[in-house]
Amino acid sequence: MLRVSLGLVFAATASKALAKSNYDSHHLHNQHAPPEWPPGLLWHSSKGFGQCKCFPGDDCWPSQEEWDHLNETVDGRLIATVPLASPCYQSWDDYDDATCATLQASWTKPGTHIDTSSSVMAPFFANQSCDPFQVGKLPCVVGTYVQYAIDVATVAHVQAGLKFASEHNIRLVVRNTGHDYNGKSTGAGALGLWMHHLKDIEVVDWRDSHYTGKALSIGAGVEGLEAYVAADAAGLHVVGGTCPSVGLAGGYSQGGGHSPLASLHGLAADQILELEVVTAEGDHLIANRQQNHDLYWAMAGGGAGTFAITLSMKYKAHRDHAFSGMTLDYATTNVSADTHYEAINFLHTLLPSLTARRISVVWYFTSEYLRISPITAPQISAAGLKAIMNPLETKLTSLGIDYDATYTEYTGFLPYYNGTANPDQPIDVGIAQYGGRLIPRSVLTNAGTCQDLTDAYRFINERGAQFIGVALNVSFAVAGDVDNAVLPAWRDATIATVITTPWSFQKPWSEMQHLATLMTETLLPAIDAAVPTPPHCYLNEGNFQEPRWREVFYGENYARLLAVKDRYDPDRLLFRDRKHHYDDPLTKYHGHGEIVAQLLGLLKLLAHHISRTLRHPRRLVHSTSERSVRRQRSKASQASNPRSVNSFDILAAAPAAMTPRIHCVRHAQGYHNLSVANHSIHDPLLTPYGEEQCRELARTFPYHDRIDLVVASPIKRTMYTALLGFGTDLERTGMKVLAMPELQETSDLPCDTGSSPEELAKELDGKPVDLSLVQPGWNNKKMKYAANSRAIESRAREARLWLMSRPEKDIVVVTHGGFLHYFTEDWSGSDRFQGTGWANTEVRTYAFSASETEQAHLLETPESRQRRRGDDNKALDREEQAQLKRTVPAAQQQERGMGGGGGAARRSTAAKEAQQLQAKV
Ligand SMILES: Cc1cc2nc3c(=O)[nH]c(=O)nc-3n(C[C@H](O)[C@H](O)[C@H](O)COP(=O)(O)OP(=O)(O)OC[C@H]3O[C@@H](n4cnc5c(N)ncnc54)[C@H](O)[C@@H]3O)c2cc1C
């Protein structure tokens, strides 16, 4: 827990840091007046986009008195942003040529930005708002930097910031060091929570059934090197990044976090034992594997800045020991391209055996050079490491390559880090744009695919991009007993690849945009074409324009992460606004990226109509033309807004391209279907007649040869319906039925309540099922699984979103009659049977609608409607559906035990009628 005394310590540190930097942000009482908000900022909010966040210049923007009051509430620690590069601009009071020259010279050093509450290191996301290299060309504005930041010292400061942002409907972002490659710690028009001065570090003991040993208790602002030093003083080491100033508790560990120590201890997320957090609703909580487990799970590896705000964490610390290291360099001046890539391919073939020895490797190459820097070898002597690396040296010599190799040896991690791992100078920032991929071990152990991969890297290099790789083994065998939201693909990966294209502050912005497009359309697809498994990427080192970001960054964790987001930040206070389809709640920068992409797309369309000012998209951002672009966008979005039209355009919209078809199936008859009294049977099995229905389903299902995924509610009758109905498909393809808790039935009656994971595993032992998503609590009918419409609607949407992001083409979803109405959002006939309009084992086929993709609406296919309704197949429009939803489910909910309390009499009448109907099925 954050100790009360810390506030004073931090306050002193903060004021010192602020005092020493005369170009820094200024506390509110000595602020400069920020210049006028630019007329058409790229990520402007409210006027063009409907219900968006409040922005400077809007009527709803807080008054100066209100900001002053917030400043008092947070003990005078509110900072009004003065852009870091303001001394370069005459329009600012602190204009000073000498300071500007110093800033320009050090702009690519992380240290220049870390001690400010607003400056970001990723230039694309700074959007040239106050760029020291654009003097005389562009104005210096606050732009995409936060407008204000609270220099957090206490829990109360975080809570005050959350309350203020919520009450005034303004964006809120969390900032630690500002290292994020995708600008996730900034936000235009935002209030920032600056965690940098939470520097408390303490060595503690930890004991639970998953880990017993030493740990560091670290404040949210602790940087890597600060933790290394503290651990070293206690004879320990901790997992941290290569860069000394990347924060440990912020984006790094919450996003996954690789390290020179990764092959030894796993990822940074695997080290998190406990988090002290404040949720978006202001609750001050502890999250670990015992308490608030879902939040703990999400915040360990599922991405930072979106689930809650971390104040401190307990983080595994390990007994220190000896390390050796190696660096190797050569230039290709006298080496042919074929020879160079033969050497690189050879290095790649060695990686699985190196990482199996708990060695990590970092290497870089372009067509001009190869640099390995460093190889980190725990508990191996320098001589031992040289012997291990002998095959590489022999190969390079045989190829006639003249290289330099250095081996070093140290007694502990800190001396190793200072001597070999940490380059003499800090890693530069603002020099590149990034995209990445995780490469599975299997690609490297197969000579053919390994060569394909090296060829893809050569192709990438030849288009001017650099390769950076981290080779590691973070399988569960290394990471140990962990339970977190780390992207599962990490566990099979041997290389975390980063591809970089060069960034230049001097070149036109449009060239940088072109390189971002090259990354998306050419470079990363080259890797994807060479690697036979679906693409995945470390979310901290990904391409902000990644088209399949859900799958690539979060994989099968996405639906569960979204559920945690829904639970702890239902109003999307942490930056996001769920109204916009580009506004993914987990990957904040997609908001930026997709807006940029959309804007650019629109620019292309409007290019014939808008004059030469369009040649410089950046200028457009500040011109009246941009306003017209936004008006166009606004019109376009209104046209596709279902609330503004009468017809139910979900049903009218074209199916979304590249999304799977969904074959919905209701389960076969269970014992609970036989009588209302049987609703008291817990998780009933199928009746013999139900099993016969499944055999009939297997005979008549029209798409057996196409299905490539079968998903089912983890309730026994749905699992058995899937196993019996699609058993031959499972056998033929080796697929398993994936049990998905979001698909469970709506009510909390015993018949609709699932079994514990253990009981289910016992029941289905030996059958082709995947129960990995069925976690303790899935059947508690609380929170997300509560028997009320809001919770059911929310998990139905989650399930649709998850399915929509799947790579498969034809997915079977076996679920329940009541839930199917929420899932398909089609209420027609819902009073037909017992609480549903779906007959047992009925099949209907759907495609995803291309409109409102954040809702992942489904459209029943014309063949499906024809199949079940013949010529009477007109779809209901939105109003008719809304009417049905208002009326039918009321009786249905009572029937299914959902409305809570006093429903027994009503229930029995409805049930009797329903029962009579059911008997006919
Ligand atoms: C030079 C450099 C070297 C790097 N080296 C490595 C490396 O070796 N290994 C590696 O894995 N990655 C590395 N990275 C990537 C790094 O992990 C990410 O940039 C990471 O997001 C940085 O986290 P931060 O908290 O320091 O930065 P910030 O930019 O301040 O924050 C990043 C994200 O974390 C959120 N956040 C920050 N603090 C909190 C908090 N207290 N509570 C909730 N959310 C919070 C922010 O809102 C934002 O979304 C490197 C990056 C750079 C620029």
Domain of 698, CATH number, reads 3.40.50.1240
Instruction: Using DSSP, state whether 738 is helix, strand or coil.
Output: strand
Pocket test for ligand 1, best of 252, 263, 312 (most atoms within 8 A of CB): 252
Residue 460 has pLDDT above 50, yes or no: yes
Q: How confident is residue 795, by pLDDT bands cut at 50, 70 and 90? A: very high
Residue scoring higher pLDDT (155 or 791): 155
DSSP string, 255-307: H----TTHHHH--SGGGEEEEEEE-TT--EEEESSSSSHHHHHHHTTS-SSSS
Pocket test for ligand 1, best of 158, 185, 312 (most atoms within 8 A of CB): 185
Q: How far does residue 253's CA lie from ligand 1's centre (Å)?
A: 8
- For β-strands 212-219 and 309-316, DSSP reports them as antiparallel
Pocket test for ligand 1, best of 117, 540, 576 (most atoms within 8 A of CB): 540
Lowest mean pLDDT among 44-53, 179-188, 401-410, 858-867: 44-53
Q: How far does residue 180's CA lie from ligand 1's centre (Å)?
A: 5
Residue scoring higher pLDDT (735 or 914): 735
The residue-averaged pLDDT of 624-652 equals 29
Q: How far does residue 209's CA lie from ligand 1's centre (Å)?
A: 30
Q: How far does residue 12's CA lie from ligand 1's centre (Å)?
A: 25
Ligand 1 atom having least distance to the Cα of 267: 11
The residue-averaged pLDDT of 555-561 equals 96
Residue 728 exposed, middle or buried by CB count within 10 Å (0-12, 13-18, 19+)? exposed
Q: How far does residue 246's CA lie from ligand 1's centre (Å)?
A: 6
In a domain? residue 343: yes
Nearest CA to ligand 1 atom 2: 243
Residue 15 has pLDDT above 50, yes or no: no
Residue 921 has pLDDT above 50, yes or no: no
What residue type is 511 in one-letter code? Answer: E
Nearest CA to ligand 1 atom 44: 305
Question: Could you tell me which residues are beta bridge partners of residue 370?
Answer: 330, 365
Q: How far does residue 249's CA lie from ligand 1's centre (Å)?
A: 9
Nearest CA to ligand 1 atom 35: 305
Ligand 1 atom having least distance to the Cα of 277: 42
Question: 374: cis peptide before it, omega within 30°?
Answer: yes
Residue 37 has pLDDT above 90, yes or no: no
Write the DSSP symbol of residue 40.
T
Ligand 1 atom having least distance to the Cα of 588: 49
Q: Looking at residue 366, what is its pLDDT? A: 96
Q: Same structural domain for residues 252 and 276? A: yes
Q: How far does residue 494's CA lie from ligand 1's centre (Å)?
A: 22
First-to-last alpha carbon distance for the chain, in angstroms, is: 59
Q: Looking at residue 134, what is its pLDDT? A: 94
CA atoms within 13 A on the CB side of 221: 22
Instruction: Using DSSP, state whether 664 is helix, strand or coil.
Output: strand
Q: Please give the structure tokens belonging to residue 707.
A: 């299905």
Q: Please give the structure tokens belonging to residue 257.
A: 């976090």
Residue 353 to residues 348, 356, 374: CA-CA distances in angstroms? 10, 5, 17
Q: Looking at residue 636, what is its pLDDT? A: 33
- Mean per-residue pLDDT of the chain: 83
Under 8 Å CB-to-CB from 651, ≥6 apart: which residues?
849, 859, 860, 875, 876, 877
Distance separating alpha carbons of residues 371 and 467, to the nearest angstrom: 10
Q: How far does residue 171's CA lie from ligand 1's centre (Å)?
A: 20
Lowest mean pLDDT among 178-192, 438-452, 629-643, 808-822: 629-643
Distance separating alpha carbons of residues 597 and 166, to the nearest angstrom: 29
Q: Looking at residue 871, what is its pLDDT? A: 65
284: domain CATH number is: 3.30.465.10
Q: Same structural domain for residues 327 and 238? A: no
Q: Looking at residue 812, what is its pLDDT? A: 97
Q: How far does residue 176's CA lie from ligand 1's centre (Å)?
A: 8
Residue 889 has pLDDT above 90, yes or no: no
Lowest mean pLDDT among 440-449, 470-479, 630-639: 630-639
CB 461 within 8 A of CB 467: yes
Pocket test for ligand 1, best of 118, 152, 176 (most atoms within 8 A of CB): 176
Whole-number percent of the chain with pLDDT over 90: 69
Q: How far does residue 299's CA lie from ligand 1's centre (Å)?
A: 13
In a domain? residue 646: no
Distance separating alpha carbons of residues 180 and 250, to the nearest angstrom: 10
**What is the CB < 6 Å shell around ligand 1?**
110, 121, 173-181, 184-185, 195, 220, 241-243, 246-247, 249-252, 255, 257-258, 304-305, 309-310, 427, 429, 540
Q: Same structural domain for residues 520 and 503? A: yes
Final residue of a structural domain among 170, 194, 218: 194
In a domain? residue 405: yes
Nearest CA to ligand 1 atom 41: 310
Residue 477 has pLDDT above 50, yes or no: yes
In a domain? residue 375: yes
Question: Could you tell me which residues are beta bridge partners of residue 438?
Answer: 496
Q: Looking at residue 387, what is its pLDDT? A: 98
469: domain CATH number is: 3.40.462.20
Residue 661 has pLDDT above 70, yes or no: yes
Ligand 1 atom having least distance to the Cα of 257: 11
Residue 653 has pLDDT above 60, yes or no: no
Residue 427 to residues 356, 381, 409, 675: CA-CA distances in angstroms? 28, 27, 23, 70
Q: How confident is residue 784, by pLDDT bands cut at 50, 70 and 90? A: confident
Residue 625: how many CB atoms within 10 A of its CB? Answer: 18
* Angle at CA of residue 762, ends 757 and 765, nearest 5°: 115
Residue 509 to residues 460, 504, 612, 627, 679: CA-CA distances in angstroms? 22, 9, 16, 20, 65
Q: Looking at residue 604, what is its pLDDT? A: 32
Distance separating alpha carbons of residues 106 and 133, to the nearest angstrom: 12
Q: How far does residue 181's CA lie from ligand 1's centre (Å)?
A: 8
Q: CA-CA-CA-CA torsion for 458, 459, 460, 461, nearest 10 degrees? A: 50
Q: Please give the structure tokens belonging to residue 480.
A: 């140990």
Q: How confident is residue 131, by pLDDT bands cut at 50, 70 and 90? A: very high
Distance, CA of 710 to chain centre: 25
In a domain? residue 145: yes
Residue scoring higher pLDDT (579 or 353): 353
Q: Looking at residue 390, what is its pLDDT? A: 98
Q: How far does residue 178's CA lie from ligand 1's centre (Å)?
A: 7
In a domain? residue 117: yes
Nearest CA to ligand 1 atom 21: 251
The residue-averaged pLDDT of 595-623 equals 32
Residue 501 exposed, middle or buried by CB count within 10 Å (0-12, 13-18, 19+)? buried
Q: Same structural domain for residues 360 and 312? A: no
Contacts by 754-763, CB closer than 8 A, 24 or more apart: 754/683, 754/713, 754/714, 754/715, 754/716, 754/778, 754/779, 755/682, 755/683, 755/716, 755/779, 760/714, 760/716, 760/719, 763/716
Nearest CA to ligand 1 atom 39: 250
Residue 711: how many CB atoms within 10 A of its CB? Answer: 25
Total domains in the chain come to 5
Final residue of a structural domain among 194, 212, 230: 194
Distance separating alpha carbons of residues 848 and 654, to the nearest angstrom: 8
Residue scoring higher pLDDT (56 or 587): 56
Q: Same structural domain for residues 748 and 795? A: yes
Q: How confident is residue 423, by pLDDT bands cut at 50, 70 and 90? A: low
The residue-averaged pLDDT of 85-106 equals 95
Q: How confident is residue 700, by pLDDT bands cut at 50, 70 and 90? A: very high
In a domain? residue 764: yes
Q: How far does residue 125's CA lie from ligand 1's centre (Å)?
A: 15
Ligand 1 atom having least distance to the Cα of 426: 1
CB 664 within 8 A of CB 820: yes
Pocket test for ligand 1, best of 246, 272, 544 (most atoms within 8 A of CB): 246
Q: How far does residue 470's CA lie from ligand 1's centre (Å)?
A: 17
Q: How confident is residue 68, by pLDDT bands cut at 50, 70 and 90? A: very high
Pocket test for ligand 1, best of 109, 174, 497, 498 (most atoms within 8 A of CB): 174
Place of tokens 């949210």: 220
Residue 518 has pLDDT above 90, yes or no: yes
Residue 897: how many CB atoms within 10 A of its CB? Answer: 23
Q: Same structural domain for residues 843 and 904? A: yes
Q: Same structural domain for residues 838 and 884? A: yes
Ligand 1 atom having least distance to the Cα of 541: 15
Q: How far does residue 247's CA lie from ligand 1's centre (Å)?
A: 6
What residue type is 507 in one-letter code? Answer: K
Q: CA-CA-CA-CA torsion for 879, 882, 888, 894, nearest 10 degrees? A: -170
Residue 489 has pLDDT above 90, yes or no: yes
Q: How far does residue 23's CA lie from ligand 1's centre (Å)?
A: 24
Ligand 1 atom having least distance to the Cα of 183: 29
Nearest CA to ligand 1 atom 34: 251
Ligand 1 atom having least distance to the Cα of 574: 47
CB 485 within 8 A of CB 270: no
Q: Same structural domain for residues 594 and 734? A: no
Q: How confident is residue 688, by pLDDT bands cut at 50, 70 and 90? A: confident
The residue-averaged pLDDT of 122-140 equals 93
Distance separating alpha carbons of residues 264 and 359, to the nearest angstrom: 7
Q: How far does residue 100's CA lie from ligand 1's centre (Å)?
A: 27
> Hey, which of 328-337, 645-654, 852-861 has the most confident mean pLDDT?
328-337
Under 8 Å CB-to-CB from 288, ≥6 apart: which residues?
208, 273, 274, 275, 296, 314
Whole-number percent of the chain with pLDDT over 70: 81
Q: How confident is residue 51, by pLDDT bands cut at 50, 70 and 90? A: low
Final residue of a structural domain among 614, 639, 664: 639
Q: Same structural domain for residues 313 and 334? A: no
Number of H helices, E strands in the chain: 34, 26
Under 8 Å CB-to-CB from 711, ≥6 apart: which residues?
737, 738, 739, 740, 743, 803, 811, 812, 813, 814
Q: CA-CA-CA-CA torsion for 834, 684, 846, 782, nearest 10 degrees? A: 90
Nearest CA to ligand 1 atom 16: 252
Q: How far does residue 429's CA lie from ligand 1's centre (Å)?
A: 13
Q: How far does residue 251's CA lie from ligand 1's centre (Å)?
A: 4
Q: Same structural domain for residues 446 and 415? A: yes
Ligand 1 atom having least distance to the Cα of 575: 47
Q: Same structural domain for residues 709 and 833? A: yes
Q: Same structural domain for residues 842 and 758? A: yes
Question: Could you tell me which residues are beta bridge partners of residue 275?
Answer: 287, 313
Q: How far does residue 851's CA lie from ligand 1's centre (Å)?
A: 34
Residue 903 has pLDDT above 60, yes or no: no
Q: Looking at residue 775, what is its pLDDT? A: 86
Residue 565: how many CB atoms within 10 A of its CB? Answer: 25
In a domain? residue 645: no
CB 143 within 8 A of CB 41: yes
The residue-averaged pLDDT of 854-864 equals 85
Q: Phi-psi region for residue 262, left (φ > 0), alpha (ψ -120 to 50) or beta?
A: alpha
H or E element: which one contains 595? helix 588-606
Q: How confident is residue 150, by pLDDT bands cut at 50, 70 and 90? A: very high
The residue-averaged pLDDT of 586-598 equals 39
Distance separating alpha carbons of residues 638 and 887, to the nearest angstrom: 29
Ligand 1 atom having least distance to the Cα of 246: 26
> In sequence order, what E strands does 451-583 have?
466-471, 493-502
CB 613 within 8 A of CB 40: no
Pocket test for ligand 1, best of 177, 179, 306 (most atoms within 8 A of CB): 179
Nearest CA to ligand 1 atom 15: 540
Ligand 1 atom having least distance to the Cα of 308: 43
What is the Cα Rg of the chain in Å?
Answer: 29
Q: How far does residue 744's CA lie from ligand 1's centre (Å)?
A: 37
**Span 260-288, pLDDT tens digits:** 999 999 999 999 999 999 999 999 999 99
For 49, the domain range is: 6-194
Nearest CA to ligand 1 atom 7: 241
The residue-averaged pLDDT of 241-249 equals 94
Q: Looking at residue 11, what is its pLDDT? A: 30
Q: Please give the structure tokens belonging to residue 486.
A: 């780390």
Tell which residue, 261, 250, 186, 202, has the closest CA to residue 223.
Answer: 250
Distance separating alpha carbons of residues 130 and 116, to the nearest angstrom: 14
Q: Looking at residue 365, what is its pLDDT? A: 97
Residue 393 has pLDDT above 70, yes or no: yes
Q: Please give the structure tokens belonging to residue 350.
A: 């060695």
Q: How far does residue 195's CA lie from ligand 1's centre (Å)?
A: 12
Phi and psi at 680, nearest 5°, equal -85, -5
Residue 202 to residues 199, 233, 317, 412: CA-CA distances in angstroms? 10, 11, 11, 20
Under 8 Å CB-to-CB from 323, ≥6 apart: which residues?
376, 377, 378, 379, 409, 410, 412, 413, 416
